Structure 1
Amino acid sequence: MSDPSTPSSSAPPQKTFSWRSQAFRALVYQCVAVLVIALAVFYLANNTATNMRARGIQSGFDFLTGAAGFDIGESLFAFDSGEPYWRAYLVGMTNTLRVAVVGILLTTLWGTLIGVGRFSRNALVRGLCVAYVELFRNIPVLLQLLMWYLLFTEVLPASTEPWVLGPLFLSKGGLNFPIPVWATGQLWAVWGAVAGLLAAWAYRRYALRAFEQTGHSKSMFWAPLAIILACSVLGWVLGGAPMEVNAPVQGEFAIENGGSLTPEFLALLLGLTVYTAAFVAEVVRGGIQAVATGQAEAASALGLGRGQTMRLVMLPQALRVIIPPMTNQYLNLTKNSSLAVAIGYPDVVSIANTAINQTGRAVECIAIIMLVYLSTSLFTSILMNWYNARAAIKER
């Protein structure tokens, strides 16, 4: 019988803080590294502030509440020169996000099509996809932005003689298009779309459970899309079905009324989309090639066509390889949007440059730019990492 005074052999070992412990030494090294970095940052910040005071340079973010004193040519909401700098930065940030979000969507669609086209049996299609990738990914993105901007401002006709494409007007002034006049029906349509998204999500969950139980697949794209559209139309009808449209018309000197996209926005969007899509196409191609060829052969043995094999077998398995490098391309597109200042698009960098010239607060303005791009990049990374975790193979 064992002596109760002796310690049990199953008791967890006590942690000893000894320099011979590798874990303890690693903890000390990490603490020292953090302390050194903090002291370096403090020294640089203090030295910068001291030098700025010695030279009579003002510092601080109090200028954000002062009147901006300049107009912004393109904005999602009204802005005039009497409003504060923080609102001007908000306009620049929304302009940056507008390009980034739309560019990511278009880049994903176009790049995926080009990447899948690399596997086409048609030699012409395959050759065009290869030529596209090799051409646009090897030309600097800044040159491509300038090329598209010159195309819109030099090649297209003047606003007095635009190209008319149905209800659309295309000229040096940009693209003009009809927009609905906002009324109660549009608001109900938005709420209907929100309800449709929830219903589509519930339908997809039901379809997945039914597939796991019966093995019969249901539509996972067209049916949810039809649900969203049906709910939107239902909301629009319940709101009175307003039909009034603000259409663009040819004026004496320019296109009047309707909505418009400036040549700067179009040049930036097309330049970033065309450039980044070339890299996305290579990511998609590599992801598909990473899937074992036996998967395609098994799908063919089951009677699936090439299109069905690519859509139902190859691409879903390639996602776990595609998503991580695709995230890098999304981040590159967002950060490359800072080149908008080269063609006069009023993004957050352009607004910051104007604020620096007027206030002299270079450090603060650059810090705001860094914060905007850091936050957008981190949000994109978090969202894509979450999606990557959902698409990853679950080990049993």
Structure 2
Amino acid sequence: MRFEDYRISPGIKQAIGKLGWKRPTDIQFKAIPHVLKGEDVLAIAQTGTGKTAAFAIPVLHMLDLKKQRHRPDGIKCVVMEPTRELAIQITRVFEQIGKHTGVKTFCVFGGVEQGPQIEKLEKGIDILVATPGRLFDLTAQGHIRLDRVEILILDEADHMLDLGFYDDIQQLIRKLPRNRQTLFFSATIDEKIKKLAYSLTKKPIRISLSPKDPVSKNVDHAVAHIEMDDKRFFLEKLAKEYKDDKILVFVRTQVRAERVIKAMERVGIEAVALHGGKEQKLRLESLRKFKQNEIKMMVATDVSARGIDIPNVQYVINYDLPDVAENYVHRVGRTGRGTARGKAISFASDREHELLQKIEEYVSYKISVMEVDKNTYQHVVETSEENESDWKSLIKEHNDYLADPKKRKKKKRGKKK
């Protein structure tokens, strides 16, 4: 079936055509008809399968039809997202698909001044994409009214629960009309997610795609056994060998992200960081530079990069193995998207052996080992520009010492003392 065969508004078909979409993905093919019928949907599909368009296309169509019939003003659809980056990304998709409709989409999130957001809300919108914190702040202040909401979409529901938004979601439900359509989209499902989903929906249509094979088949996986202190040398080598490729590096903490950035700077490799410790403005600028190929390497934490669609990432590097095996799937899903192929390489130290075992158990197969013999390993470490620059700085320091008699006198006095 092609998109032109769907009974959706001509403006949406026009926008889809400009985006180059001809046929729906599996999740879109299965979800769109049910959403158009007004049914509640619980959809489980791995990252990169086109979940966003699976709810954006039918929702835009339904609201566009109602807008043409001069329905009352007010927010008609709320889309909840776990992070600011995802909220911005999802808003962009709605705007692209709804470009030729009369439906207005707007995004609110924390970390920025709320004044401009309030001003936009007052002008009137149809679809509100929001993170929980700012949504509740503006609702409490009376700037957001939820009494006319007809559709609730919980996107990346598993990630929202991981971030502790369970109570926030329950609080939101109390403010929404009971007679509404609820769409529940998630990459994974467990008992807690299932319990929440069934408490929010009415006889939902359940759609599940490839739950037993969570990793994209377009990704080639490998693991290299590298000690923690040597990982920066191997990342440097990879970045210099594949300098035209886009590399997304995952680390465990914000501090680790900044350390990796500094290590790359020392060897002349420019990289940007994406983590919760950076100001929102800087995070968006990092994303922009990486997406537009101005910088070829981005170092990110799991929370910040989860679900983000970044085009043409050739390599995902697990600089640190994730503490939660499930996050491995979300990380490697940033490459090999659509029909493109990608590579995922994990740097595993001895102390991460148990984490590697858990990941292999989760994906149900052994990740192929990238053998690095002792001579090659030593060569990579010794030929790093970081080691060269350290050696050069020592020589320079020694030469400066010999050339400056004052420094020699100070050193002698220090010894006497």
TM-score, normalized by length of structure 1?
0.20
Higher fraction of strand: 2
Higher fraction of helix: 1
TM-score, normalized by length of structure 2?
0.19
Query: Highest CA radius of gyration, 1 or 2?
Result: 1
Q: Which has the higher contact order (CA 8 A, sep 6+)?
A: 1
